[in-house]
Structure 1
Amino acid sequence: MRPIDHAPLAAWCGGNLALLAYWDGRPTEALEHVKAAQALATSGTAKLRLHSVAARTYAHLGMPEQVRYELEAAQQVDRDIRDDHHDDMGGEFGFSPERAAMSAGSSWLLVRDGGRAVDASSQALNLVRARPATEKSVKVEMEATADLALAQLLNGDLESAVTTLGPVFQLLPEQRVDGLLARLRGVRTQLTVPALQRRREASELGHYIESFSRDSARSTLPGVPGLEIEN
């Protein structure tokens, strides 16, 4: 898995191959990519990202114990060990603690563990909201918010989910990115479970999500394909 002689970049590319594989419904192949990439990772950021990708991959395979193992390993990485790709270059190649926490929440949602998903998504929100305004990622904040709402629904807490989604519905159409819309589709589906579907608040929230998604900037662009949730 070393088409280039640069281990940090090769590790990052391996993580991306894993993401593409599980988005395309090939989680077993994704696991092969992420394991190969983990053998190349040296920095704390690289390891954090790959443990997070591995957790998500195991979640797609329905293996909660392996999810827990990878997320615990992610918490133990040494972020002081850096590399020139994930840390010095950063940007899209970086992987912040709030992104890791958001990814953990998404992993727990995939295995339907609402309690742990609430904890992880709440942590992601606390981390991103603690940043200065100039460093805050609206994308991460809103996607973690949608994940938190879904986790609350899994726990049967409709009222909290309605309150949680309030800030999401304030977003302008051009801010309604694919990852957020995909998460909201999950929320919309959860609102149809027998325990919720006959409740007026669930019906109203479902219609609101549909209108919000319909009026997004992406829905107004013909021929533009949707993308899966980002890690």
Structure 2
Amino acid sequence: MSEIGIGECLARLRAEFGWTQQQVADRYNEVEGRSVMTGKEIGRYERENRTPTPRTRGHLAEVFDIDSPALDRAAAVTKRRRKEAQAAGGAVLVSDAGETAAAVAVAPPSRHVLAADAAASARFAWFIAARNSDEHTAEQLDAEVASLARHFVSRPMTHARTAWACADAAGHNGLKGWVRGVESLIAFWNGHPRQAAGLARSGQQYVAPGSIGVRLASLEARALAVAGDQRGAAAALATAAQARDAMCEPDEMPGVFSFPAAKQLAYAGTTYLAIGGAHNVQQAVEAAQAAVGLYRSTTDDDRSVGDLHAAHLDLARCHMVAGEIDATEAMIGFVPKTPPGHLSASIRPRLSDLADELGAAQYRGAPQVAHLSDRIRSTTHRVALRAADHRSR
């Protein structure tokens, strides 16, 4: 896989976030604390008419939430190419920022990517780039990918960068859309719902059979609802429903590459609840109850424990809003019974938010509420300790 220069690197990053050059400049100025950057200057960097200084690269790395050495390496590639071109007496080649923005290929890894996953991804990316596989090898890889995909829902892993490389090399729109969905999830759980919505919306340009269109629209709807865009969330929910009605072919691969009806309902329930209002809360109850029913009737391999927890917690919040504390405790009770190692990273903040909401004025002084709040905090504490122990190993 070839190296990329600073211009292509910045254009790819900007395209992944769905930003204009001026939006990048605005965010740069927020980081810098001064109005020194312009959209035109970002354009010069992308065309490689100018190379950002080390200090500027540091601020750009913060804007895009990546390690600054990644931009330093890209700048070094650009400088080396310029020297080689000058030595050969030729013109300096610059990146086609417009084409790069449309292609949106692999970007440098963020600081959140685990070193082990990055190493594994790099090895596999090298494999697909360097090896001419025969039919038997392709069949074997297909079977292994199917097995990994099936078990992903209960044993999550992250290989988004290599997944994009594979999708790009194969020209596979379905996988491109799926990778955008993974990146949207990462942005969402890192506290950037607007960015998450943009990434999910970007993925919808890759039209493909199966449920990927429903998944991306559902991701966009949930992110917009959390960001406070009620109208946008409702529109995205409608898009998800349209995509579901338009599905005429099943998903090519099982597990994480699919977006089954139970997951669709779980996401819809969370979105309705985030939009708020009596009608939407009732819609959330119906969607979450249906999701729980479907998940409980499926096989263990196809059951997403995280989504099952999420649906229970959504129901708990619905009952809490209605003042039904007994029903709230019954729904929450399913989660603490789960071993801490089986609680996904997304469940802990949901539990913490519930405990905070139970601390509202209308619940103060109620022994049952105090007991429930303590029970939730005990669960989140156990999960946090396990996560800290895992990181220290």
The TM-score range, normalised by the shorter chain, is: 0.7 to 0.9
The equivalent of 1:190 in structure 2 is: 357
The 3 A distance-change label for structure 1 pair 165 and 23 is closer
The answer as to whether partners of 1:31 and 1:54 remain within 8 angstroms in 2 is: yes
In the superposition, relative to structure 1, how do residues 119 and 197 fare at CA in structure 2: closer, same or farther (>3 Å)?
A: farther
Residues 218 and 236 of structure 2 are in contact (CA less than 8 Å); yes or no, is this contact kept in structure 1?
yes
Structure 2 CA distance, aligned partners of 1:7 and 1:125?
Answer: 31
What one-letter code is carried by the residue in structure 1 that aligns with 2:270?
Answer: S
Distance 1:74 1:107 in 2: 12
Report the residue type matching 1:103 in the other structure.
Y
Whether the 8 Å contact between 2:177 and 2:206 is mirrored in structure 1 is yes
Query: CA shift at 1:224, angstroms?
Result: 5.4
CA shift, 1:39, in A, is: 1.4
| Contact in 2 for aligned 1:191/1:202 (Cα 8 Å) | yes
Counterpart residue type for residue 346 of structure 2: G
In the TM superposition, residue 221 of structure 1 has moved relative to its aligned partner by 4.1
Q: Which residue of 64, 81, 104 corresponds with 2:249?
A: 81
Q: In the alignment, is the contact (CA less than 8 A) between 1:18 and 1:31 conserved in 2?
A: yes
> Which residue of structure 1 aligns with residue 336 of structure 2?
169
Segment of structure 1 superposing worse, 17-26 or 57-66: 17-26
* Correspondence for 2:225: 59
Partner of 1:93: 257
Partners of 2:201 and 2:276 lie apart in 1 by 24
The residue aligned with 1:228 is none
Q: Secondary structure at the match of 1:178?
A: coil
Alpha-carbon separation, structure 1, partners of 2:199 and 2:304 = 28
Q: Does the 8 Å CA contact 1:45/1:94 hold for their aligned counterparts?
A: yes
Partner deviation per Cα, 1:144-195 (whole Å, 9 max, x = no partner): 1112101221222222101222222322232233222222112111101111
**Maintained 8 Å contact 2:340/2:386:** no
Q: Which structure exhibits the higher relative contact order, with contacts defined as CA atoms closer than 8 Å and separated by 6 or more residues? A: 1
CA distance in 2, matches of 1:54, 1:115: 21
* Letter in structure 2 aligned against 1:153: M
Cα displacement string for residues 6-62 of structure 1 (whole angstroms, at most 9, x for unaligned residues)? 211111122222223333343333333222211113224001101101101211221
Residue of structure 1 in register with 2:118 after alignment: none
Single out whichever of 172-181 and 127-136 deviates more from structure 2: 127-136
Q: How does 1:1-231 map to 2 (within 5 A)?
A: 1-2=102-103, 3=105, 4=168, 5-76=171-242, 77=244, 78-82=246-250, 87-113=251-277, 114-133=281-300, 135-216=302-383, 218-222=384-388
Amino acid at match of 2:321: L
Query: Cα offset for 1:91?
Result: 2.0
Alpha-carbon distance between aligned partners in 1 of 2:222 and 2:324, rounded to the nearest angstrom: 24
Name the CA distance, whole Å, in 2 between partners of 1:137 and 1:36.
Answer: 25
The offset of 1:121, in angstroms, is: 1.4
How well do the aligned residues superpose, as a CA RMSD in angstroms? 2.3
Distance in 2 (CA, whole Å) between partners of 1:177 and 1:26 is 19
Q: Bigger shift: 152-161 or 49-58?
A: 152-161
What do the CA deviations read for 1:100-123 (whole angstroms, capped 9, x no partner)? 111122222323343332222112
For 2:351 and 2:320, the matched residues in 1 are separated by 12
2:210/2:252 contact within 8 Å kept: no
Q: Kindly, what percent of the aligned residue pairs are identical?
A: 24
Deviates more, 1:42-51 or 1:200-209: 42-51
2-side partners of 1:20 and 1:173: how far apart? 21
1:221, 1:24 → 2: CA distance? Answer: 16
> With structure 2 as the length reference, what TM-score do the two structures score?
0.51
89-98 vs 16-25, which moves further: 16-25
Structure 1: 5+ residue stretches without partners: 226-231
Separation in structure 1 between the aligned mates of residue 381 and residue 264 of structure 2, nearest angstrom: 29
Aligned residues: 220
For 2:291, the aligned partner's letter is: A
TM-score by length of 1: 0.83
Residue 199 of structure 2 aligns with an amino acid whose one-letter code is: H
Q: Which amino acid aligns with 1:60?
A: V
For 1:198, give the aligned amino acid. Answer: G
Instruction: Give the aligned partner of residue 229 of structure 1.
Output: none
Query: Match of 2:214, as an amino acid?
Result: L
